[in-house]
Structure 1
Amino acid sequence: IGTLGSGNHFIELCLDENDYLWVMLHSGSRGIGNRIGQYFIQLARKEMERHQIHLPDRDLGYLQEGSVYFNDYVAAVSWAQDYALLNREAMMNRALTVLKQQLKPFTLTREAINCHHNFVAKEWHDGHHVWITRKGAIRARTDELGIIPGSMGARSYIIRGKGNPESFCSCSHGAGRSMSRTAAKKAFTVDDLARQTAGIECRKDKGVLDEIPGAYKNIDKVMSFQGDLVEVVHTLKQIINIKG
């Protein structure tokens, strides 16, 4: 616990429009959630075969609500989500401890904003209790604060949800990739990475080339498409980015 992980997971120091310092981190259940998902996907496929349910795609297999496997799945996913939160809390506490050691005395002026993405929750929508799966999305209920990060060389946003029922009170989790990791490594060089992250203290080697800003969608364009879902509260620009 208290480990960052690889890929697009990061810890950043950012400045907002008023030059307030923000500590932002992105990490999850450290692969446990993925293993849980793969395990229950296989169970769902077997359940479809056992009940002789023929689907147009094997990935549409499901577990019947109320069944033992379904309840086991909900319990496992809930555990992974709790673990992910605890993991982030551990890292945030360690980051703040280091900052207190290295910087002049400062005051924490805001409550921490936490938001899951790629998660499952039971919620009330349109007069019913339903299970909501948000993949690459975060919850954006009315007045709920959230985080929408860009790439390691672009802006990120602190947002307030508008509770739009047409999106099940959701919005995008971030910029999203515009090309695969393999394609990015072929399309860009380390020099490109250095240029696109100029002014940011971060790794600028081939080990993070697949995380180059050019491999991601334009975060400002992404934000322009969801004005009916969220409003921007703060605009952040990273000054230090640490990749796992």
Structure 2
Amino acid sequence: MSNQLRGNDLRKIGFPEGAAITRALDILSQREFRKLDKGSALALLKQIKDDPFKYVRDENWRPVAEELVPQPSREVDLNPAIKDYRRYGEDFIEDGARKQMDVAMTLPITIDGALMPDAHQGYGLPIGGVLAADNAVIPYGVGMDIGCRMALSVYELPPAFLEQRRQELRKMLLENTKFGNKEVHKKTNVDDPIFDRPEFRQIGVARAKLDSAVAQLGSSGSGNHFVEFGVVDITDPSNDLKLPLGQYLGVLSHSGSRGLGAAIAQHYTKLAIDKCSLPPQARYLAWLGLDTAEGQEYWAAMNLAGDYASACHHDIHKRMSKALGEKPLAQVENHHNFAWKETLADGRTAIVHRKGATPAGQGVLGIIPGSMTAPGFIVRGRGERDSLQSASHGAGRRLSRTQAKSQIGEGELRRQLRDHGVELIGGGLDEAPAAYKDIHQVMAHQRDLVDVLGSFTPKIVRMDAGGSGKSRHGGE
């Protein structure tokens, strides 16, 4: 190991005795970290020590960060019994997600819950977890990417336009979408009303992120976020979009609240853990009461982040419409990673957390995407009580990002894209279609939750690639 760090080096920067030191040294001994010089390694470890919440979702440093998260001295007792909850497609759900949901169902604030068929293990609540709580909000039950959402614009252009103008459409995506932290739109004037919101002045963490929120407006995150051209196929004559049956050109986007949402999630999760001491297995389910100043402040910040995420999508779709020279015939938008104040079937008011779950109240429209080679679906909620009026937010991961990178080859990804006539700009093996569950199986497990009005089939997909703009052509 070229950095030659020892336990005493870590103690000098504030690491406590115990597992944190051992785990940090073990990770530094791995091949990808051996190239770090001693100073860089110490600087990185000090960042993790000073703000472990920032690294609890990092696949490499999570074991260290979890040891460094402060542990309150007095614990809140969990209920001894797991409250019953509905699991949709139970045989389809990984054990880790079910165990996380079981823990959530023992919280003293829990009223009800449900687990969607796309569920997989996450942080706090599992992805695909829905939890109704009594007058309390769980920041990690909402998630890091607050208000992450889908947005679809449908245009009066035929699917043939995709092949006839493929190069032009590809250029439109490259010129009008930005991804990750290295790309931002050049702005001479930003007049979006979101920045007039008083929360940007009144809430410290939002005020601190105002400049970056302005810079990131209209951009998309990394990971599974995308903007893509595809074919919209309207199959239900009573589709609520007032569209005739048939096929159209569509633009679909998936992204969230960027750095603003992440900063809010980290800040208020720290507050919640300090104020609400839970056993280790429930640590990230710490809550803030809505009858407290901190809970009310988080609620306001969460809503600001959700509205900011929406503003980002509106900016993206406005750019794409202008580039196409077309006004959309119809638009659909829905969000997840959020908490809503709702009335349950028994008349009680609850805070319903949907961590990677789509709102599916009676008549509510939404989009449930598949993968880059599988269709997504335009849906209308059926208001099912057992699911807490929720549905899946996508196909759901079958493989973790680390598993996908080790098990899926570049050649396999290219073959899948070629077989489906899809061009991918950016992206990575961790987002390969094989990393995801079969969307058709997911949809089959939630027939009682939503009606399908139509589908969206991707054809030209742009995702983050660390700014490289790398393209994988379906025709290669």
Q: Which has the larger Rg? A: 2
Deviations 1:51-87 (A, max 9, x none): xx77863223221221011001101101100100001
Give the corresponding residue for 1:13.
229
Task: Tell me how far apart the structure 2 counterparts of residues 131 and 163 of structure 1 sit (CA, whole Å).
Answer: 17
Task: Tell me how far apart the structure 1 counterparts of residues 395 and 279 of structure 2 sit (CA, whole Å).
Answer: 36
SS in 1 for 2:379: strand
Give the corresponding residue for 2:424.
202
Confirm whether residue 33 of structure 1 aligns to residue 264 of structure 2. no
Task: Tell me how far apart the structure 1 counterparts of residues 230 and 318 of structure 2 sit (CA, whole Å).
Answer: 17
- The amino acid of 2:301's aligned partner reads A
| Conserved 8 A contact 1:179-1:216 | yes
Deviations 1:163-214 (A, max 9, x none): 10111111000001111111111111111111111211213x7x51111000
Matches within 5 A, 1:55-204: 57-100=282-325, 106=326, 108-110=328-330, 112-126=331-345, 127-198=347-418, 199-203=421-425
Give the corresponding residue for 1:103.
none
Task: Tell me how far apart the structure 2 counterparts of residues 57 and 33 of structure 1 sit (CA, whole Å).
Answer: 22
| Conserved 8 A contact 1:162-1:228 | yes
Aligned positions, number:
233
- The amino acid of 2:366's aligned partner reads G
Task: Tell me how far apart the structure 2 counterparts of residues 123 and 226 of structure 1 sit (CA, whole Å).
Answer: 21
Deviations 1:81-134 (A, max 9, x none): 01000011001101111111xxxxx55322x11100111111222212211110
1:163 and 1:193, CA in 2 relative to 1: closer, same or farther beyond 3 A? same
**RMSD of the alignment, in Å?**
1.7
- How far has the Cα of 1:48 moved from its partner? 2.5
Task: Tell me how far apart the structure 1 counterparts of residues 365 and 282 of structure 2 sit (CA, whole Å).
Answer: 37
Structure with greater contact order relative to length (CA < 8 Å, sep ≥ 6): 1
- The amino acid of 1:6's aligned partner reads S
- With normalisation by structure 1, the TM-score equals 0.90
From 440, 449, 468, give the equivalent of 1:229: 449
- With normalisation by structure 2, the TM-score equals 0.47
From 270, 274, 277, give the equivalent of 1:46: 274
- The amino acid of 2:356's aligned partner reads G
Task: Tell me how far apart the structure 2 counterparts of residues 241 and 187 of structure 1 sit (CA, whole Å).
Answer: 22
| Conserved 8 A contact 1:55-1:61 | no
SS in 2 for 1:38: helix
